[in-house]
Amino acid sequence: MDASELHIPVMLDRTLELLAPAIEAAAAAGRTPVVVDGTLGMGGHTEAMLAAHPTLVVAGIDRDPDAIRLAGERLARFGDRFRPVPATYDRIDLALEAAGVEAADGILLDLGVSSLQLDDADRGFAYAKDAPLDMRMGQAGDVTAATVLAERSERELARLFQVYGDEKLAGRYARAIVAARQEAPIETSGRLVDILQAATPRALANQGHPAKRVFQALRIEVNQELAILEATMPAAIDALAVGGRLVVLAYQSLEDRIVKRALQAAAASTAPPGLPVELPEHRPHLRLLVRGAELADDDERAANPRSAPVRLRAAERIRPIEPTAGEHA
């Protein structure tokens, strides 16, 4: 299996363009530039970065052992310029340690489920393929999509589908699932799809696949994606060297909201209202590099349908974070 054939990196050229100034500045200063690819996946973004910058080192994080293995094969020609880190992407500290640095010149987060996981029928991520309802990105831990469906109450399932999937029929679907599991456990994606289709009013049957948002909600819950992202954003900002750049690609509104909030907070002054002079400790830590969120262009959407929902945000670290009172630099 060739990773390069499985994965088309989303917004690759724009990502390289945004990270390049920080990488080139580090090289010009005589340092070895370091980028943390927090969501290594199939290694497409990392491959392009390593090819474009001959002295760059990339520490690539992924919780999925299959992704680490396949990306490692794809990137073998770069030798120790690629450092694999098996972990969730909030463990940026482990990536810095693997690269032998205290701060990164660039950090990339390409969020959501990877091509490898979507295309592996045995994982149960895709509602179009009948498979066991697993959905664990890293194949570790006891919680699967099947256990969530088996153990959560009707109210808990409804809230899950509403909050993580923005599903308007959340209550209806939760009731149908609870009723169906009384007859037999819901253990395959095909059975879940059948339950959801049967519970969908005929008038809404042509308004998108009824399983899309439910599957998204289950995946987010099983992998604790939003909790990890909430922890990752401040860690990523703190891990950037001054002049370092952070690029984040988000594919659904809940992720993008977390990213937007973290970047905007770090790019805003914290000076109290009415203070006549902004003190150094109140100055922003980041400078936003794009206006709002950038989208993939029409050509990329046509060539790579998985780029359609992407929202890209980026920022540059412009000053250190001073220690708070009682801490020492």
- Asked, for residue 325, whether it belongs to a domain, the answer is no
The reply, when asked if residue 43 is annotated as ligand binding, is yes
Q: What percent of the chain has pLDDT over 90?
A: 74
- Asked, for residue 57, whether it belongs to a domain, the answer is yes
- 207: which 2 tokens? 């308004």
Q: Are residues 297 and 255 in the same domain?
A: yes
- 59: which 2 tokens? 């520490």
How buried is 238 (Cβ within 10 angstroms: 0-12 exposed, 13-18 middle, 19+ buried)?
middle
pLDDT digits (tens, 9 = 90+) for 258-312: 999 999 999 998 777 767 676 777 789 999 999 999 999 999 999 988 899 999 9
Q: Are residues 196 and 174 in the same domain?
A: yes
Can you give the residue range of the structural domain that contains 180? 121-223
Tell me the Ramachandran region of residue 124: left when phi exceeds 0, alpha when psi lies from -120 to 50, beta otherwise: left
Residue type, 157: L
pLDDT digits (tens, 9 = 90+) for 5-55: 556 799 999 999 999 999 999 999 999 999 999 999 989 999 999 999 999
What CA–CA distance (Å, rounded) separates 81 from 45? Answer: 14
Domain end residue (candidates: 191, 207, 223): 223
Q: Are residues 85 and 44 in the same domain?
A: yes
CATH (domain of 153):
1.10.150.170
Q: Are residues 217 and 231 in the same domain?
A: no
The whole-number pLDDT of residue 127 equals 63
pTM: 0.87
The reply, when asked if residue 127 is annotated as ligand binding, is no
Q: Are residues 89 and 230 in the same domain?
A: yes
Domain count for the chain: 2
Residue with the larger pLDDT of the pair 157 and 131 = 157
The reply, when asked if residue 117 is annotated as ligand binding, is yes
Q: Are residues 17 and 166 in the same domain?
A: no
Q: Is the pLDDT of residue 237 over 90?
A: yes
The reply, when asked if residue 62 is annotated as ligand binding, is yes
The reply, when asked if residue 44 is annotated as ligand binding, is yes
